[in-house]
Structure 1
Amino acid sequence: MDSVALSERRKAADTPVASAATTARAGAEAETRDDILLDDAGDRVEQHLPPVDGGIAAWRLLWAAFMFEACLWGFPLSYGVFQQYYSTIPEFAGNRYIGVVGTIASGLGYLGAPVVMPLIQRKQQWLRPMIWIGWPVCILSLVAGSFATTLEVLILTQGVAYGLGFLIFYYPILHMVSEYWVARRGMAYGILCGASGISGTVMPFIVQALLARYGYATTLRAVAVALVVLTGPMIPFLKGRLPVAQHQGPAPKADWRFLRSELFWMYSVSNVLQGFGYFFPALYLPSYASALGLGERSGAVLLAVMSVAQVCGQFAFGYLSDRKISTNVLASTAVAVAAVACLTMWQLARSLALLVCFAVAYGFFGAGYTAMWARMSSNVCKSNGDSASLVFGLLNFGKGLGNVFAGPIGGNLVARGGSQFGGGALEYRWVVVFTGVCMLASAGTIAAKYLKNIMVVVKAQ
């Protein structure tokens, strides 16, 4: 999962998902403006709460969340460098499923969203314990992975365990941020988005240098120690603004009527198709550059450039979506341009300059699509906030399917390309084609709605 992964979830803060999260504690958010809460007897009592949208506590929490995102998300962002390295050492060379490690590590964060998001809204008291559970799981997974001598063990440690740890601690942190930042929430999540952009430009170079000099075992241990040093001191600052309500009413029943919505299924199919193709460039660009003989650092350069482009794409398409431009037009345009970039620039690239151009175009427009998730959820459920949260969670799940399966699918595509075209860059031909076709199919799913409407009008005349 790349830098857009976090922005996708952050965009939920602009949907009814986050407004539900900010009111889930202590009865209702409306009470907090007067610092009035209800005690056990139902009497109104005064309680001083930290201010929203500013103040020491709010900025302290945002800084802690920034560090967690930059460090603990920056590591999965650089898995393409790991994959290039793993494919060259005797322990893992020749195994077509090396990519599964990275896709599972990031994909579980998507797949688990429909479970974790409702859970933290109902079990407010679990927020900090979940952080204390998930964070060490991530750290220990890297230490355990450093002892791996088979790909299966590496998948279970650096892949599954890291992904589960991230899933457990990350959503509680987002929930806390949404409590402190209300009117200025867009700015707060923009800062977090910048964290993934910064880490995405720096982490690949650090990982590449460590792998080249010390090997994967020492690199994984060094990264684990660095994560402890950089993020451990931030944990005391990860606290929600609102006190946990001692008595919570029964959770509202889920409203699944949106499943009958044609719009929901259009977005879902488009999202799954985009997800199946989206992750391949970040996964294979370093190996592709290496096959072209462009130098050891070329892969890190491409990942860094793509990371910056993704952040810019998120901001640009998010801004445009707030300007009442059609969500369907923006989403279909984004994936269509990404598809063209794959089938032209990546397909024809034999130089670092053209690969950089591809990384910019693909990163910008590919990330632009995922910035539409919050707006898609709102379009499907215009008047039902609880349903919008379900839609957003299911969009996460659909993207996660593509993320997780990208590893085995990509491995088989590379193997097929190698058997047909031999070694070198040509063995990635089917990966390039598959990515472009998935993007085109995603755009076509949305465009088909307009074609259907046009046909109805034509027949009516």
Structure 2
Amino acid sequence: MAERRRRLRYNIADRVSSDARRPAPWAKERKALLNIMAHTTELVDGPSCWAGGIDTDMRDSVKLSTLGEATLDPEESIALRRRSTDSLSDVGDDGDSALSALSALGQSDTMVDGGREAWRALFAAWLIDFMTSGAWVTFGLFQVHYLTNPLFEKEPKGIATIGTFLSGISWLATPLTNALVLRYTSQRKQMLWTGWLMCPLGLVAASFATHVWQLQLFQGIVYGAAWVIYWSPLLVMVNEYWIHRRGLAYGIWFTASNASGLVMPFIVQKLLDRYHFRITLRLLALASILIAGPAVALLQPRRSQMASMHSAPKLTSLSSLIIPARHIFTNIHFAAFSAASILQSLAIIVPLLFLPSFAASMSLPAAAASQLLALSSIATIGGQMVFGRFSDTLHPYVLSSSTTFICGIAAFAARGATGFMGLAVLATIWGIFAAPYDVLFTRMCAVLTPDSDEALVLYGYLSLERGLAVLAQGWIGANMVGGEEEGFGRYRRLLGFCGMCMLGSSLCGVGWFWPGRGK
């Protein structure tokens, strides 16, 4: 068996050598063969193969392919770096299945960055996000409804925290859920199902609420937790299919929530006017099951049989997957990115969450609230696609500082708004330049570390900071609304706070002038 596997590796090496002299169309096949060589060497012969049996040229090719982790999906990279001597013997016991897995691995390399499977995975992720985002992109409408409902109108500050829990919890728990996905990679589809099913269950439970704390629990905390439980495995699965064009994929994917914000406000407003909040929440839950459910079933992880056989998650602790490495903590650029993200997060939710309240304070028609939310969503869709495209080429300092500066000026200017047009300008600018900011997180992580697993841990940490800032913003916002002024004047102090946070975030761009900023 060992001799058979060794002959297979030499045959692959011969094909790679001959394919190198072939025209360009053979490039993808040659790349796949190099991947097979790397896995054959590491998984079949083990580390001792470097001592002999492979000539110098082939050894260099195998090393190059092994180090080129961008060509592998995250689970395969984890398997290579965390192998154990036990799993090596397991592979030897089942050589036939190992060899067939290597063939599948070579074919899977053609699925990434634009292949049919990659686009199918991206479409499924988009559809899931479109439906599950409907509950929180329309929460501003629910908030206005709750404030006029006799059951809840006596607790206005409690109602304001529902949206904060909804958004904050989802970001706050990201480091933990990302760590769980990395630790138990084979269970990520089960995590996706669990989180997605919790979303409609949370809405149905909230529909029976008679007190504000029940809305906070089910529409806020439970739904926010459900969102992040399905989001982390979804993020990893999309990453498996999109590697070199990941910024573009994120830009397209993240438009789902804003496409939902373009359509859902009009539907939810009509439902609230006609059926009350209880029926509306139940109908949203039913729509999520009917539309997003098939998409969850359609999405499949991109993993080879060999990676599944060879993974050894027991060797990695959860703590090492939650807390970024020390060399990142001591990096000045990590501090700059963190400060910029926190300050931006303190302000990002306010205008989007309070747009319906702004419109109501100006005595605008009820339809104006839905129109403003839809306008913001249209602007955000364009902003996210542009952000995603430019994030693959421009440095995150450039995009972060320029966009937050524009938003800061817009927030101060909006304090003088007197009608629909002033709010429309704020909604448009905020949608283009503020809402797509989290698309930059993956680019920031890539600047700070080349390791894919470490980058995912770091992404979770940036999301944690964002969640803490959003939770703090909820408390700050609830206490800044009001004062002696009436109508829209009650919100001017809050908009001033948002403007200061955005301008402060833009100042973190001075990190550009510090050595080691990356490309």
Moved more, 138-147 or 426-435: 426-435
Task: Give the distance between the partners of 1:452 and 1:181, measured in 2 at CA.
Answer: 31
Which residue of 1 is the match for residue 49 of structure 2? none
Asked if 1 retains the 8 angstrom alpha-carbon contact of 2:355 and 2:372, the reply is yes
1:82: Cα distance to partner? 1.1
Is 2:156 the counterpart of 1:102? Answer: no
* Structure 2 equivalent of residue 9 of structure 1: none
How many angstroms apart in 2 are the aligned matches of 1:56 and 1:262?
41
The change in CA–CA distance for 1:428 and 1:176 in structure 2 (over 3 A counts) is same
Q: State yes or no: 1:46 paired with 2:100.
A: yes
1:352 correspondence with 2:420: yes
After superposition, the Cα gap between the structure-2 partners of 1:172 and 1:387, relative to the gap in structure 1 and judged at 3 Å, is: closer
Q: Secondary structure at the match of 1:297?
A: helix
RMSD: 2.7
Structure 1 equivalent of residue 495 of structure 2: 432
Assess, with a 3 A threshold, how the Cα gap between structure 1 residues 172 and 430 changes in structure 2: closer, same or farther. Answer: same
Kindly report which structure 2 residues correspond to 1:2-41, keeping only aligned pairs within 5 A, or say none.
21=74, 23-24=76-77, 27=80, 39=91, 41=93
Distance in structure 2 (CA, Å) of the matches to 1:26 and 1:443: 40
**Partner deviation per Cα, 1:303-328 (whole Å, 9 max, x = no partner):** 1111221222223233334334x432
Give the 3 Å change call, closer, same or farther, for CA 408–255 of structure 1 in structure 2: closer
- Once the two structures are superposed, the pairs formed by residues 263-412 of structure 1 within 5 Å of their partners are 263-324=333-394, 326-344=395-413, 346-381=414-449, 383-412=450-479
Asked whether the 8 Å contact 1:25–1:245 carries over to 2, the reply is no
Give the superposition deviation at 1:25: 6.9
SS class of match (1:149): coil
Tell me the CA shift for residue 187 of structure 1. Answer: 4.8
Q: Work out which structure has the larger RCO, using CA pairs closer than 8 Å and 6 or more positions apart in sequence.
A: 1
Contact 1:27–1:245 (CA under 8 A) maintained in structure 2: no
Q: Specify whether residues 60 and 322 from structure 1 end up closer, same or farther in structure 2 by C-alpha distance, changes over 3 A only.
A: closer
Amino acid at match of 2:76: T
CA contact 1:314–1:368 (8 Å) conserved in 2: yes
Q: Distance in 2 between matches of 1:56 and 1:362?
A: 34
Q: Give the fraction of aligned pairs with identical amino acids, expressed as a percent.
A: 33
Residues 1:84 and 2:154 aligned together: no
CA contact (8 A) 1:17 1:386 kept: no
Residues 192-251 of structure 1, C-alpha deviations (whole Å, 9 max, x = no match): 233223211001111111111111111111111111111222332122121462342323
For residues 149 and 498 of structure 2, what CA distance do their matches in structure 1 show?
Answer: 27
What residue number does 1:34 align with? Answer: none
Specify the alignment match of 1:420 in structure 2.
484
Paired amino acid for 1:376: M
**Alpha-carbon distance in structure 2 between the residues aligned to 1:294 and 1:144:** 32
Greater displacement, 160-169 / 304-313: 304-313
Structure 2 unaligned residues grouped into runs of 5+: 1-68, 82-89
Give distance in 1, aligned partners of 2:297 and 2:438.
Answer: 32
Q: Which stretch of structure 1 is more off in the superposition, 52-61 or 399-408?
A: 52-61
Does the CA contact (< 8 Å) of 1:334 and 1:368 recur in 2? no
Q: Structure 1 residues 142 and 388, CA, compared in 2 at 3 Å: closer, same or farther?
A: same
Distance 1:372 1:175, change over 3 A: closer
1:168-199: per-residue Cα shift (whole Å, max 9, x none)?
A: 11221222222234455455434323322321
Distance 1:247 1:451 in 2: 44
Residue 10 of structure 2 corresponds to: none
| Distance (Å, rounded) in 1 between the aligned partners of 2:258 and 2:353 | 17
Amino acid at match of 2:99: V
| Residues 329/178 of structure 1: CA separation in 2 closer, same or farther (3 Å cut) | closer
How many residue pairs get aligned? The number is: 421
Kindly provide the amino acid, as one letter, of the partner of residue 336 in structure 1: F
SS at match of 1:318: helix
**Is 1:66 equivalent to 2:130 in the alignment?**
no
**Is 1:86–1:92's contact at 8 Å kept on the other side of the alignment?**
yes
Return the offset for 1:163: 0.9
Q: 1:146 to 1:239 in 2, by over 3 A?
A: same
CA distance in 2, matches of 1:103, 1:26: 38
Letter in 2 for 1:46: S
The residue aligned with 2:269 is: 208
Q: Does the aligned pair in 1 maintain the 2:255–2:381 contact within 8 Å?
A: yes
- How far off its partner does 1:59 sit? 4.4
Give 3-state SS (helix, strand or coil) of 1:177's partner: helix
Q: Relative to structure 1, is the Cα distance of residues 366 and 115 closer, same or farther in structure 2, using a 3 angstrom cutoff?
A: same
Change (3 A) 1:437 1:17: farther
Secondary structure in structure 1 of the residue aligned to 2:99: strand
The answer (yes or no) to whether the contact 1:40–1:246 under 8 Å persists in 2 is no
Distance (whole Å) between structure 2 residues aligned to residue 434 and residue 219 of structure 1: 34
The residue identity in structure 2 corresponding to 1:398 is: E
Contact 1:110 / 1:400 at 8 angstroms: preserved in 2?
yes
Instruction: State yes or no: 1:251 paired with 2:303.
Output: no
Could you tell me the TM-score, scaled by structure 1's length? 0.84
Distance 1:17 1:99 in 2: 43
Give, in whole Å, the separation in 1 of the partners of 2:115 and 2:507.
Answer: 47
Tell me if structure 2 keeps the 8 A contact 1:21–1:179: yes
Say whether the 8 Å CA contact 2:252–2:384 is kept in structure 1: no
> Which residue identity lines up with residue 90 of structure 1 in the other structure?
P
Distance 1:317 1:237 in 2: 28
Q: Is the 8 A contact 1:256 1:387 kept in 2?
A: no
Shift, 1:384, TM fit? 4.4
Q: Greater shift after overlay, 280-289 or 246-255?
A: 246-255
Q: Encode CA deviations 1:383-433: one digit per residue, 9 max, x unaligned.
A: 44444333322111111112223322221111xx2x322x31111122111
What's the CA shift for 1:21?
2.2
* Structure 1 residue corresponding to 2:236, chosen from 175, 181, 203: 175
Higher alpha-carbon Rg: 2
CA contact (8 A) 1:17 1:388 kept: no
